[in-house]
A = this chain, B = another copy of it.
């Protein structure tokens, strides 16, 4: 489960989430795990953009890529899965993070 323990971490995650395309990617991966190339086609994105965005989503821990062997052609591919996350944005939570000093 994804946890946030500093303002810095929260900021990075919110920055990644505050983009309509990346939200679309999350919604799509919630339906089913997918590969970068297939996802790009499905959402009408260029592959480089999809790759970049998947990378940024992975960096903040919202998705996870794993090398899997395709049954069809035996080639290794990276399958991206959505991680289970629940971030509750409330005044209390934000205050707690801000007042915990910035580090952690």
Which residues on A are within 8 Å of B, measured CB to CB?
A: 7-8, 10-12, 14-15, 17-20, 23-24, 26-27, 30-31, 82, 84-92, 94-95, 97-99
For A86, the closest partner residue in chain B by CB is B90
Q: Is the CB of A98 within 8 A of B7?
A: no
**A86–B93 Cα gap in the complex (Å)?**
10
Q: How many copies does the complex hold?
A: 2
Q: Are A18 and B20 in contact (CB under 8 A)?
A: no
User: Which residue, A27, A97, A99, has most C-beta atoms of chain B within 10 A?
Assistant: A27
Q: List 26 A-B contacts (CB under 8 A).
A: A11-B19, A11-B20, A11-B23, A14-B14, A15-B18, A18-B18, A23-B94, A26-B91, A26-B95, A26-B98, A27-B95, A27-B98, A27-B99, A30-B92, A30-B94, A30-B95, A31-B95, A82-B91, A84-B91, A85-B91, A86-B89, A87-B88, A87-B90, A88-B88, A88-B89, A89-B89
